[in-house]
Each structure stands twice: as C-alpha cells, then as structure tokens.
C-alpha cells in the first residue's frame, strides 16, 4: 500500500500566523487559535507514521512482489497449457536386465550399464543428437560405475563413487530441477566434491571408515521454468523409486552401514514424499522450497532431519505455503530452516543455490561431518 502525507490546512495556517501581522480579529478568537494549535501539534505527531521509512516501504514492496509471483505461478501451474512443442524423444535401448544388487553382482551391474550407455550414445548419434551422444559416451567410460542407467527421454542414472561393497558410511544425493543426462556433469561434480572431502576427513580419522557416495538421478526431474516445478507431482512419482533404491542399497551395504540422504532443491520434496519408513540415518534438506510437510515430525521418519540454506540462495524468496487447487498440490509447506519446522539447522555460509557442495565451503564440510556421524562437530546456523 502506498503511503502519502496528507495535506493539512491547519499546519499551513499556523505557519502563516508566524509571518503575517497580528490581526485584531484573530486576537479576539483565543478558543479558535487554541484549536488550531492542537490540530497542528497532532499533525506533527502523525507525520513520522505517515512518512514511512524506505526500509519499511521496501519490505512492503517485497511482500507485494512475493504475493504477485505466487499468484502468477499458481495460475500457471494449474490452468496454463504447455504450448511449446515437446522435444522429440531420443531413441535409446531399454535398461539392462540385472540380477538383484548384492556385493557379488556389483561388477556385473557396472559392466552392463556401461555397455548400455555406449549403445545409447550410438543410437543418439544416429538420430543426429550430438549433445546427447556425447553425454552418453562420457558415461560409458571404463572408470564409471552405474547401478542403473536409462538413456530414454531425459535419462536416468545412479552412479557410485567409491567402494560400495566395503562402505560403512554411504551418502545418497538426490538432485533438483533441470538434472538430466545432458546436465548430469554438474550433479556428478557435487557428488565428487563430497567424495573427495570425505576421503580427506577419513585420512585423519584413526578408525578410518570406508565411504561411498551415490549420485541418484532416479527420477524425471522438473524443469526450473515449468509448471511441474511448482507442484508435488514429480516428487510423488519419484518417491516409490527412491524407497525401492534404498531397500536395494541395504541389500548391498547391510543394516549396520550408516546411510545419509542429502537432498537438494526440488529433491527435498522427493525426499519428503519418500521419508516415511525410509531406512536412512540422516536426511539433509539443502536449499529447500519446502519438503511437502509442515514439520520434521510430519515426515514420519526415524532419521535425524537437517536443513541448511546459503545466505545468497534465491530460494529464500519463495513463498513457503501449499494449497490444493483443482486436484493439484501447489507449494511445499513450511520453510525447513525455520524454527517452526524443527530440523537441525546447520551453517551453509554465504553461498547461493548451487553452492552447497562447492569445494572449500562451510556447507560441504558440514555435510561430510553428517555423513561421517561427527554430528557434534557440525557448525550450527
């Protein structure tokens, strides 16, 4: 609401009285003068409230912009049809048929998925899609270890960094929007940064725990500029797959291994939907627009729930609300870093939305401590 100072005739009359010669008629009206003086005094007292400070006006503008943005996004998510032509489907082989994952079948799974990625690269090249062909070819390198690979559509992949067969500390990363096979390199870089930091920490640990990091691109992520990123639909579709993967993972690493689920951006919505009964020890929500729950308790998980947000993360400006409109859930609920949510909030430094796994960052160090179980060393926000 725009605030304006109101014109005040009484104040102007009072100023004029100080500059004009005395008027005998006015001198004969002490009661009227007294009334005018009172009006002028009241106007002076009200003036600071009417002339709102710049910071207050700025906050009001931000609130209006947030409400307007939310209204536009809700409308788009519910009623706006997608008019742009969909990208043609890229041909790719069906995923390899694999035996149930165990320590003894890991190497065969790695080999089969590399072969599948190589075939997907050839098919994409024949289709004329050089970008996808190059991405798939990179994933087919002999040094890569995939538990699963699917080159169809946006593509999905689950990659292991480290020796999973002997790991007693495992981190599973769940990405957010715009993560596909073509952008997979950015997601893998985050997993690799954590893997390297864990190795540095364990070299200083006399117990020398064995660690592994898993980059889980096991669902079709929404586009950042899309209607799907505003709703829980993709997360609801992904949650059963994440649950199934964690069950498979336990078949490899056993029940005694410490498993941490590290979820970023829209990935926190996926983790929130999968949380109930999920066999993980820690769950970290990073740069979260909301986990689809009003509190950590509402996730119905036995895991310790952590949350962090960098000082320069734009997600802080996302309205934390949710509404059911025309059968669609829009928004993701309470801010996970707020006291009302009840998570263990840890320091993430001054980074932005994509900086939680940045080498040398406060957030990366704290995530490594969570994975290693060194929770007393995690710096709190």
**Residues 173 and 123 occupy one common structural domain:** no
Is 31 part of any domain? no
Is 268 part of any domain? yes
Which CATH number do you get for residue 273?
Answer: 3.40.50.1820
Say how far apart CA 102 and CA 89 lie, in whole Å: 33
Looking at the DSSP bridge assignments, the partners of residue 331 are: 322
Residue 207: the pLDDT is 81
Instruction: Using a pLDDT cut of 90, give the percent of the chain over it.
Output: 68
Question: CB-based contacts of 333: which residues, under 8 Å, 6+ apart?
Answer: 290, 291, 292, 293, 294, 320, 321, 322
Per-residue pLDDT reduced to its tens digit, 54-64: 455 555 444 44
Nearest to 335 by CA among 275, 370, 294: 294
In the numeric block, which tokens belong to residue 3?
Answer: 């605030």
C-beta of residue 306 within 8 angstroms of C-beta of residue 282? yes
Q: Give how many domains the chain has, as a whole number.
A: 2
* Domain boundary, last residue among 88, 116, 148: 148
Is 46 part of any domain? no
- Asked whether residue 27 carries a pLDDT value surpassing 50, the answer given is no
Say how far apart CA 41 and CA 64 lie, in whole Å: 34
Is 319 part of any domain? yes
Q: Strand, coil or helix: what is 350?
A: coil
**Residues 320 and 288 occupy one common structural domain:** yes
Is 70 part of any domain? no
Say how far apart CA 315 and CA 288 lie, in whole Å: 7
In eight-state DSSP terms, residue 336 is: T
- Asked whether residue 4 carries a pLDDT value surpassing 50, the answer given is no
Is 130 part of any domain? yes
Phi and psi angles of residue 329, each rounded to the nearest 5 degrees, phi first:
-90, 115
* Domain boundary, last residue among 148, 163, 183: 148
In the numeric block, which tokens belong to residue 187?
Answer: 């997601």
**Residues 303 and 162 occupy one common structural domain:** yes
Say how far apart CA 133 and CA 311 lie, in whole Å: 38
What is this structure's pTM?
0.77
**Residues 144 and 174 occupy one common structural domain:** no
Which spans in the chain are helix H? 9-19, 24-27, 30-50, 54-79, 106-126, 130-139, 184-203, 233-253, 266-274, 362-372
Per-residue pLDDT reduced to its tens digit, 314-352: 999 988 765 565 455 556 889 999 999 999 999 999 999
Structural domain boundaries, residue 313: 153-377
* Domain boundary, last residue among 114, 133, 148: 148
Is 38 part of any domain? no
Say how far apart CA 190 and CA 338 lie, in whole Å: 25
- Asked whether residue 162 carries a pLDDT value surpassing 60, the answer given is yes
Say how far apart CA 71 and CA 85 lie, in whole Å: 25
Give me the mean pLDDT over the 109-123 stretch: 99
Nearest to 273 by CA among 259, 254, 255, 288: 288
**Residues 140 and 175 occupy one common structural domain:** no
**Residues 120 and 216 occupy one common structural domain:** no
**Residues 228 and 274 occupy one common structural domain:** yes
Is 11 part of any domain? no
**Residues 172 and 140 occupy one common structural domain:** no
Torsion of CA 289, 291, 292, 298, to 10 degrees: -140
Say how far apart CA 306 and CA 296 lie, in whole Å: 9
Nearest to 307 by CA among 332, 331, 277, 338: 338
Neighbours of 38 (CB within 10 A): 11
Per-residue pLDDT reduced to its tens digit, 120-132: 999 999 999 999 9
C-beta of residue 159 within 8 angstroms of C-beta of residue 144? yes
**Residues 127 and 229 occupy one common structural domain:** no
C-beta of residue 92 within 8 angstroms of C-beta of residue 124? yes
Under the banding of pLDDT at 50, 70 and 90, the label for residue 16 is: very low
**Residues 108 and 216 occupy one common structural domain:** no
In the numeric block, which tokens belong to residue 275?
Answer: 């949380």
Per-residue pLDDT reduced to its tens digit, 295-307: 999 999 999 999 9
Under the banding of pLDDT at 50, 70 and 90, the label for residue 90 is: confident
In the numeric block, which tokens belong to residue 110?
Answer: 């790695």
**Residues 257 and 369 occupy one common structural domain:** yes
Under the banding of pLDDT at 50, 70 and 90, the label for residue 38 is: low
- Asked whether residue 9 carries a pLDDT value surpassing 80, the answer given is no
Phi and psi angles of residue 307, each rounded to the nearest 5 degrees, phi first:
-150, 150
**Residues 135 and 173 occupy one common structural domain:** no
């Amino acid at each position: 609401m725009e605030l304006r100072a109101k014109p005040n005739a009484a104040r102007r009359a009072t100023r004029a009285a100080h500059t004009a010669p005395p008027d005998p008629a006015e001198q004969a009206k002490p009661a009227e003068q007294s009334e005018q003086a009172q009006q002028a005094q009241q106007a002076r007292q009200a003036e600071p409230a009417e002339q709102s400070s710049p910071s207050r006006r700025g906050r009001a503008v931000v609130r209006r912009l947030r409400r307007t943005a939310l209204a536009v996004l809700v409308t788009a998510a519910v009623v706006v049809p997608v008019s742009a032509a969909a990208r043609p489907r890229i041909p790719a082989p069906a995923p390899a048929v694999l035996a149930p994952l165990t320590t003894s079948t890991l190497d065969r799974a790695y080999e089969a998925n590399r072969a599948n990625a190589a075939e997907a690269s050839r098919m994409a090249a024949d289709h004329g899609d050089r970008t996808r062909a190059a991405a798939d070819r990179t994933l087919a390198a002999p040094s890569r270890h995939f538990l699963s690979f699917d080159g169809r559509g946006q593509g999905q992949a689950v990659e292991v960094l480290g020796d999973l067969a002997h790991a007693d500390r495992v981190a599973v990363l769940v990405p957010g929007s715009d993560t596909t096979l073509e952008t997979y390199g950015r997601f893998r870089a985050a997993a690799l940064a954590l893997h390297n930091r864990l190795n540095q920490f364990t070299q200083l640990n006399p117990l020398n725990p064995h660690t592994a990091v898993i980059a889980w691109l096991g669902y079709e992520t929404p586009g950042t500029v899309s209607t799907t990123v505003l709703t829980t639909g993709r997360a609801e579709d992904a949650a059963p797959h994440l649950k199934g993967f964690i069950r498979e993972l336990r078949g490899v690493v056993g029940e005694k291994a410490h498993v941490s689920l590290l979820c970023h951006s829209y990935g926190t919505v996926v983790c929130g939907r999968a949380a109930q009964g999920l066999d993980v020890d820690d769950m970290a929500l990073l740069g979260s627009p909301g986990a689809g729950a009003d509190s950590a308790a509402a996730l119905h998980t036995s895991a310790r729930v952590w949350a962090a947000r960098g000082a320069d993360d734009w997600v802080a400006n996302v309205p934390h609300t949710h509404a059911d409109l025309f059968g669609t859930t829009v928004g993701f609920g309470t801010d996970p870093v707020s006291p009302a949510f009840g998570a263990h909030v840890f320091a993430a430094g001054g980074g932005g939305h994509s900086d939680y796994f940045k080498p040398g960052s406060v957030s990366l160090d704290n995530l490594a401590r969570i994975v290693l179980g060194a929770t007393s060393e995690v710096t709190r926000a």
